[in-house]
Amino acid sequence: MKLINFVRRIIFPIIIVFVVISSIILDTTINPWLLAMFGLLFLASVIWDKRIPYALVIQALTLVCFHACSQLNWSAMLYYILVVLTVVQRPKHAVAIAVSLSLLYTATRLSYMPNTSYNLLVSIYDLISFQIIVILLRLVITSEQDKKKLRLRNEYLAAHDPLTGLLNYDGYLGALKRMSAQPDASFTLLLLDLQGFRSVELLRYENEILAKFAHSLQYHFPQASAISRYAGDRFALLFPRKPNTIKQIQQVLASNQLDFEVTYSIAEFPLEAAEAQAIITLAENRLFENKRLQWLKQEEEMFSSEKLKIVGELAAGMAHEIRNPLTTLRGFIDLSRSHAFNIERWIDIIMHEITRMSELTSEFLQFSKPHISNMRNERLADCIERVHYLTESLALSKGHLLTVEHEDADGTLVFMDRDKMVQVLLNLVRNAIEAMQEPGKVIIRSRIVGTQIAIDIQDTGCGISEDGLTKIFNPFYTTKETGTGLGLSICQKIVQDHSGDLTATSVIGAGSVFTITLPLASGTFTGES
């Protein structure tokens, strides 16, 4: 556009003045005043091209009159330049206009030149020259237009996300910097993060979800100056700051009009940050904090749900276990009606069932609250020796060998409730003894593992199936004919309350190993206590 104005206001006047002066000096003009007048009229029609109706027709007529008055072929340059301007401004009609101007030039030239073969050939040459100029110029312009389109396309792709058509990270930064660089800039930055987008169920429809969400943003936030998908499932929107902008944003998000659960943050420029990078950092920090709070809330809800599920399972198991002895008691009471309510013959069975319910409720209370209160630094070896003393006679009576192995852990101190730990070890050792139908061996082994101590209770029994290993710590799960199924659950809870872990491994036909892992007390040493 600047080049065209330069040609109109500088080049045209220079050529017109030169032709007028040359025509006067060479005495070719028929009337200097008419020549000057037509020159001025032509120049005016060129300069004010867009303001004059039928400007091209007026330009052609005034140029022909100027040419005829000057009677100089040097006016050809004005025709050429006018053709060039026509190709640039009116490319669809360039050929027709070029032919018309070339014919006008030739006719005017022949009006004052001798009718010779030379002049006729020159006229034909001029006609061809006009067309060649048009063709070459159109090729150049078309090539430049293609380059411009390609450049614009590359710039668009560099700044936009190919999936959603929104601005990408670079486009987002560019838009934000441009807005912040404006005088009296004031805008609101909104960051959005799709909740649960990385879940396995949604990953299969990732592209579809992102495209749909992008369309939803464009539909519900038409007032946004820029919308960007700047990172995976994160989006940014820039809004001109108005009194009710934040309220409108919150209304859309609160009403779930976007059809997706989102975590968001809002920051205002320059009210809360006066630089582009500062407003981005502020919004990102707020988004991270909001996501952290959302994670904590979801974790709390999940934990509460899991607790309710466990309580339900415990209640169901407890009801089932108590109902069995109650059914037995009721049966004997009904039976006693026909024996004058004499229950002497069934007294042992009734007392056994009552004892069973008492033990069940006691273990259930212990499971729900183990009451670990007497915590102090104790030698774990003392607990192991105590359990060995209490169970050795039971093992020998069943034909089993019970041994203790300390691997550099004899004097190890552990912060624990000694009685509770003896209870755990006693339960595990008795289970190991009962697991062996044939004479076998039970080993209690303690060993140091980094900053922890591990106690293995190993037997040579029949082993536990893989399915059984996944259930043995569940409340009320048991493979014994007697027992409540709460023993291992209580053991695991006691160990966990000591910041430890209880695990089990087993090989069918070879035996099982139950491993207790506990943290060492600070200042722990091995050797003499």
Q: What's the pTM?
A: 0.45
Helix (H) or strand (E) holding 469: helix 466-469
Sequence letter at residue 219: Y
Distances, alpha carbon 61 to alpha carbons 51, 80, 93, 213, 259, in Å: 17, 15, 18, 61, 66
- 376 pLDDT band, cuts 50/70/90, is confident
The reported pLDDT for the residue numbered 17 is 92
Where b means 16+ CB within 10 Å and e means fewer, 53-78 reads: eeebebbbbbbbbbbbbbbbbebbeb
pLDDT for 528 beyond 50: no
Cis peptide, bond prior to residue 270, ω within 30 of zero: yes
C-alpha span between 382 and 395 (Å, rounded): 20
Mean pLDDT of 72-100: 81
Q: What is the pLDDT of residues 86-96, one digit of tens each?
A: 777 777 777 78
Same topology between domain 300-368 and domain 376-519: no
Helix (H) or strand (E) holding 442: strand 441-449
Give the start-to-end residue ranges of the domains of the chain. Answer: 1-154, 169-272, 300-368, 376-519
CATH level 3 topology of 300-368? Helix Hairpins (1.10.287)
The reported pLDDT for the residue numbered 522 is 73
The reported pLDDT for the residue numbered 84 is 81
The reported pLDDT for the residue numbered 502 is 92
444 or 490, greater pLDDT? 444
Structure tokens that stand for 185 in this block = 């800039």
Q: What is the pLDDT of residues 179-237, one digit of tens each?
A: 888 888 889 999 998 876 555 445 567 788 888 888 888 888 889 989 999 888 889 99
Helix (H, G, I), strand (E, B) or coil at 481: coil
- Nearest in space to 234 (alpha carbons), one of 158, 161, 154, 180: 161
**CB distance 22 to 74 below 8 Å:** yes
423 or 528, greater pLDDT? 423
323 or 300, greater pLDDT? 300
Mean pLDDT of 258-283: 87
The reported pLDDT for the residue numbered 238 is 92
361 or 375, greater pLDDT? 375
Range of lowest pLDDT (293-307, 316-330, 399-413): 316-330
The reported pLDDT for the residue numbered 135 is 79
The reported pLDDT for the residue numbered 455 is 92
Q: What is the pLDDT of residues 233-244, one digit of tens each?
A: 889 999 998 888
Q: Percent of the chain having pLDDT more than 90?
A: 14
CATH node for 169-272:
3.30.70.270
Mean pLDDT across the chain, nearest whole number?
81
pLDDT for 356 beyond 90: no
CATH node for 376-519:
3.30.565.10
